Every structure is written in C-alpha cells, then in structure tokens.
Amino acid sequence: MKPATLEFVKQRFTEYYQRQNLTVPSSLEQREWGFVFFDAAAEVRMRRHMAFMDPLELAAYVKNLVPAHVYYSTAYYQTPSAPTMNDKHWAGADLIFDLDADQIVRGPYAMMLARVKEETEKLLGMLTDELGFAKNHIRIAFSGGRGYHIHVTDIAVRGWGGPERREIVDYICGIGLDPGVMLGPGSTRTGWRQRYADTLRSHLLHLAALDPAEAAAYLAGLEGVSKRAAAEFPADIDALLAKDPQDLLQNRVVRAIAGAPDFEERLRDAGARADEPVTTDIKRLIRTPGSLHGGSGMRVVPLDIRDFADFDPLVDAVVFGDREVRVAMKANFTTSLLGNTYTLKAGPASVPEALAVFLCCRNMAEITGGA
C-alpha cells in the first residue's frame, strides 16, 4: 500500500475498534494470541506468544495498536505467553474446521462465497446428524475473507490428538472409504453409505451417457480391466443400475471404477471440502470473531447455526459506510457489496467507503483523495 492508502485503512480500522470489541473466546487466560500489523516489517509478520488475563486488557491492546489481523489459539495452554511451544504446556484444543473457497472453486468473489457456504451447510449437517455433535457445542464464524470456521467446543474432544482429529476430517472429506463396507449388506443406507452408493450410480450414469468408444477407452485405462471387458461394459450399465448397491461390487469393472482417481474425486465432492491440516493441527491460531480481516476490511462474524442460512457476508460482514471516496483502480474489477454490483475500470473512480476499504485491503486500488 502507498502511505495515503495505508493511513486511510488504518483510520477506518481505528474507528471500528473504538466502537466495537472482539468476541472473547472461553478460557481467555489459557489462549495464545497473535497479531499482524499494517506496518510490520516484512521479516516479522506476526507478533505472537501473547496472553491476556481479562477482556478489558485485550480490548485496550487492540484499540491502541489497531492490528490488521487478530488471531487466538484453538488450543488451551497452562502458560500461553511462553516463548516456545514446549514451554506453553498444551492442555487441549477445540476441534476446528476451516472451509476456504480458494480450495473449492475459483471465480467471482460472490460466486466463491456462495459455493463455500454450500460446503459449510453440508459440513454442519454431517457434524450434527451423522457424528452426533450437539448444536450448542458448535460455533460458526465467517472468516472475513473467503470462507467459514466451525468450532466444536465439546469438552469430550478437547483432549484429542492429531490422529483422532485426522479420523474425523477423513470422514468429513470421504477419504479412505472401503467400497466393501460402503456397499456391503447392513442397516438402512444413511451417511456415507448412501452418499457412496449415490455417487457410484451417478458415475455409472455418466459413463452410460458417453460415446461407447470413449467410455471403452476410459475403462480400458483402469487397472485390471481388459479391452474386451471395457468394450462390453457400457451395454451392461442399465442392468447394473437396477441392482441392489451391495451387488455392484461383484462386477470386476465396477471394482476398478471404485478405485479410480476420478471416482475418488467425485467422492470428495460428495463430502465437505474442509481444510485437512487445520483440523489436525492441535496448536492452530485462528481468526478472532469480531475482528477485521486485513485482507478485505470485512468483519469476522460469529454466527449461531440458526442464523447461518440467512447470513450474507457481502451485506452482514460489511462494517463501513457509503460516503464517497476517490480511488485509483489498478485493473478492471466487478464485485457485489451491500446489495449493489460495481463494475470498475482501471483508473480513477468514486466508490462508497466500504468498497474503498475492501479494494485497498485487497491491493486492487490506492487512495487518491477524499478519504
């Protein structure tokens, strides 16, 4: 950022923190805190290993220093301000899921936000309906950028290490599923058993819709499938689809399909696209609800499950006003904000303050006057 742009953004953040406080996590005194500042030297990106004993102390620190980003530890420590991780003495951690649109889809910002919200809704359903977590132990936060964080605060999971958390995220993402278990005989098909069967049927329908020669070429490339079996298989798909799911694996071509990378990718789409390293990391720092995201100027918004469906980040996470601000756009850009769509061309433009903060934080514009 140029000096005028940096000053503009810092002033807006200062105004926000003078009137708003952070949402303080439980057991504040056991959390480590980290901050990134607007004018931090390039080699010192984060000031961390900090602790606060009460909310007023934390609020005063943020109001006085006005950070660009505010993080706290998902872990609980005996001595959170200790300078090394070993000296902190880990005492448990919340179970965290991070869904980031960058890892799901690329495109216009509004479209990415809509897509990641769908994944978050899917994950919430899996946590409550399939894994049995109580809704009152689940906290949601819009990250202020391109996704959502889900915090499971149930004390039963606090002591879990990385391996236990890996099992949970593998389930969420559909990693390492055994076809024999998924399609085998058992009780009513729910959860992954149903998703697996549906995904396999969808994949078979996709193959049936291909040109027979194209389908045969694909099948012949699978391990253990002969050219003859590949050529004959497309004609058998309708009959296979009429069978009970548990009978499908009797066909050797279906078994080969179930082990193919593209089918595994379809299974990932059937699950929720959570960031696996975040969930397995028992010492993670995560954005603080109520803080501002220095890369967007938007608020990290805490949400209850009951409010999630109606939440619109392009309206509800915007905290700045609509007074006109002059900026210089670095490139053409179109975005939605506060219910309006803005199509901007490279060069000077007058935009609402909220949009100016967003553009400057994303390094897409510089302030030229009127700030």
Q: Which sequence positions are flagged as catalytic?
A: 98, 100, 275
Region for 28 from its dihedrals, namely left if φ exceeds 0, alpha if ψ lies in -120 to 50, beta otherwise: alpha
Q: What are phi and psi of 209, to 5 degrees?
A: -80, -15
**DSSP calls for 138-202:** EEEEE-SSSEEEEEE--GGGTT--HHHHHHHHHHHHT-S--HHHHHSS-SS--HHHHHHHHHHHH
Contact predicate 141/151, CB 8 Å: yes
Parallel/antiparallel/unpaired status of strands 301-303 and 147-152: unpaired
Please name which of 20, 164, 46 lies closest in space to residue 95, comparing C-alpha atoms.
164
- What's the rounded Cα separation, in Å, for the pair 283 and 285? 7
- What's the rounded Cα separation, in Å, for the pair 112 and 314? 12
**DSSP calls for 283-337:** T-EEEPTTSBPTTT--B-EEE-HHHHTT--HHHHT--S---EEEEEESS-EEEEE
* Residue in this structure with the two tokens 């700045």, named with its chain if needed: 320
